Structure 1
Amino acid sequence: MLAEPEQGRGWPSSVEVCCGSVTAPGQHTEVFTGARTLFLAGAVPGTVPTVLQLAERAGVLRVVLLSSHGPEYEEAYPPETWFWTAIERAVQASSIPATIIRPSAVMGSMLEGTYPATGSGWPAMIRSDDTIREPFADTGHYPFIHEEDLASVAAAALRADTFTGTVLEAVGPPVSTRSRVDGIAAAIGRRLTLVDVSVDEARALWRDQGWPEGAIDVTLYALEEYGARTAELTRWTSAQRPTVAEIIGRRPRTYDDWAQEHAHLLC
């Protein structure tokens, strides 16, 4: 396991951890020795070709790439601006058979501080005054997948060649902002107030939390767009094959499940 230094602890004793970065693969070429499958997460366009070249030389037989939802939207812009599309195309151009996983937002991202749409600022708001301030409070929706379900999808793709050459849409249905707040309130046993703030107020709030303008723009767009097209996007999610349930062999966990499991971290 090649892990960033801050992620180097907590692994089972059977896992050999090498602290480093997938963005600088040339510094730790030894991690590819003897590997037959490669789970590629955290890649960046500039160095992913090197990762794949090292994997090819080491005799890796299968790559599973953790991509992101919606990379096809990048294709409307010049190739030099691509991120996920550039990574996916590099993987597809490699000689190693590959599976690409495109997940929706991960529920646990709330605790990791990834971007505003996941509610990264909510735990602090809950601890402050039990009030969550969010734009599009009554109409906003966003799709989520439980991190353990996503891990199970990745494990299924790594263990067999069933999904080789495919793109797996590891997506959950759009979840409303209000239902997420209600689920957290039930989990922690407290009454939470959801306050609908304007776009300008949300932008100012997220700036104060340190979010870059790009992340703020994407979040505002997504919350409004998913809210306006909830029925259409829910149908799209239901139409994906194989479904997450079919891949992992059980019912995917819901947002309420996640909230119950992590209640102690949310208050």
Structure 2
Amino acid sequence: MPTSAHIKAALEPEEIYLLTVVSPRKEEGNSPTGIVGRCLARQLLSQGHKVRVLAEPSQCDGWPDAVSVIEGSITQPVKYAHAFDNVNAMFLAGAIPSTVDDVLARAREAGVEKIVLLSSHGPEYEEDNPPETWFWLAIENAVERSHLAWTCIRPSAVMGALIEGTYPATGTDWPDTIRAEGIVREALLNQGHYPFIHEDDLAAVAAKALTSDDYVGTILEAIGMPLSTRSRIHSIAKALDRSLDAAELTPEQSRSTWRRRGWPAGAIDVTLYALEEYGARLDEMTTWTLAQQPSVPDIIGRPLRTYDEWVSENIETFR
């Protein structure tokens, strides 16, 4: 005979985690929401949770069968308000400043209790600029004043963004030139460094923030160690079991190449600045990375996955 506890559990609505995903874009505020979202969905499902996704049309395929997919956009929250129904917590990725307040209003009205925001390190640079120019900082501020439980995640560059094409620093044009010519052309080839995180590790941080209250009201630095451009090329060559050529471009040559590929000036400026700064201040930036608490391994309970591992998992991208 069912106990009262069993009856109560059966009557209570099942908790739903809502993930939002937008199409890859090159304008300001881009992030690899599709790759990270799919990793997060798999992890939440493996833990026995129910997952719903609000995805723009190009991102509606490739989800596990158990995921409920709603075609739509988090940038139009009023139109797709039904996506928030019965949601307990939301992984907010791909929001834009002009509609983020509407997102949060719809979430409150639907009874959403927690927002986990996929943010950026942009706020650290934006805070010195006029508020009307803010992107990431405007979104973070809106989330923090939403009267909902919140966590903001500021990640390193995501390894999988190379495939999704959402950040030039990840080498978004490398697969084409490696497949066609066996070469990588890049500015700051010898000096350039950048921190990277595997999308599975970033998703694991998000899963912890969604399913526990340990990180409510905090900004989590989901960062990996700085990697040199040379070491990333070496990882790809080793996995391909072939040599790759590398040609150093001037910053202006890289700027022209990225501009032809549709990257806006702001993204190009940030990329060149960061590659140079990390290289010039490598010891300082490495010390800063190691000092962050809680660290990603502390949060997810295991070591970070390496760039070598990521390349091995995605080697067909370069063949």
TM-score range (shorter-chain normalised) is: over 0.9
Match of 1:120 among 169, 172, 195: 172
Q: Which residue of 1 aligns with 2:19?
A: none
2:213 maps to what in 1? 161
Deviation of the 1:213 alpha carbon: 1.7
How do residues 5-20 of structure 1 correspond to structure 2 at under 5 angstroms? 5-20=57-72
**Letter in structure 2 aligned against 1:5:** P
Matched to 2:210, the amino acid is L
TM-score in terms of structure 2 length:
0.82
Q: What CA distance in whole angstroms lies between the structure 2 residues aligned with 1:193 and 1:162?
A: 47
For the pair shown, the structure with the greater C-alpha radius of gyration is 2
Native 8 Å contact 1:188 1:264 kept in 2? no
Quick one: distance in 2 between partners of 1:10 and 1:111? 15
Counterpart of 1:21 in structure 2 is 73
Q: Of 119, 141, 144, which residue of structure 1 is paired with 2:196?
A: 144
- Offset, 1:10: 1.5
1:182 maps to 2:241 = no
Q: Structure 1 vs Structure 2: percent identity of aligned residues?
A: 57
Name the residue aligned to 2:131.
Answer: 79
Structure 2 gap ranges (5+): 1-52
The Cα of 1:51 is off from its aligned counterpart by: 0.6
- Secondary structure of the residue aligned to 1:26 is coil
* 1:202 positional shift: 1.3
Quote the residue 2:140 is aligned against: 88
Alignment of 1:1-267 (within 5 A): 1-267=53-319
Give the C-alpha shift of residue 70 in structure 1. 3.7
Q: Which amino acid in 2 is paired with 1:42? A: G
For residue 106 of structure 1, report the CA deviation from its aligned partner: 0.3
Query: 1:196 corresponds to which letter in structure 2?
Result: E
Q: Which amino acid aligns with 1:203?
A: R
The 1-side partners of 2:315 and 2:101 are apart by 41
What do you get for the CA RMSD once the two structures are aligned?
Answer: 0.9
- In structure 2, what is the Cα distance between the partners aligned to 1:125 and 1:210? 17
Cα offset, 1:38, TM superposition: 1.0
- Contact 2:122–2:137 (CA<8 Å) still a contact in 1? no
Corresponding residue SS for 1:241: coil
Q: Distance in 1 between matches of 2:104 and 2:262?
A: 34
TM-superposed CA distance for 1:207, in Å, is 2.1
Code of the aligned partner of 1:43: A
User: In the comparison of the two structures, how many residue pairs are matched?
Assistant: 267
Contact in 2 for aligned 1:5/1:20 (Cα 8 Å): yes
Q: Higher mean Cα deviation, 246-255 or 194-203?
A: 194-203
Output one character per residue of 1:208-233: Cα deviation in whole Å (capped at 9) or x when no partner. Answer: 22222222111111111111111111
One-letter code of the match for 1:100?
C
Output one character per residue of 1:104-156: Cα deviation in whole Å (capped at 9) or x when no partner: 10000001111211100000110121111111100100111000111111001
Q: Hey, what's the Cα distance between the residues in 2 that align with 1:201 and 1:48? A: 37
Aligned to 1:91, the other structure's residue is in SS state: helix
Measure, in 1, the Cα distance between the counterparts of 2:162 and 2:283.
Answer: 25
Offset at 1:186? 0.6
Task: State how far apart, in whole Å, the 2-side matches of 1:100 and 1:199 are.
Answer: 32
Instruction: Letter of the 2:105 partner, please give it.
Output: Q
Residues 126, 137 of structure 2: 8 Å contact kept = yes
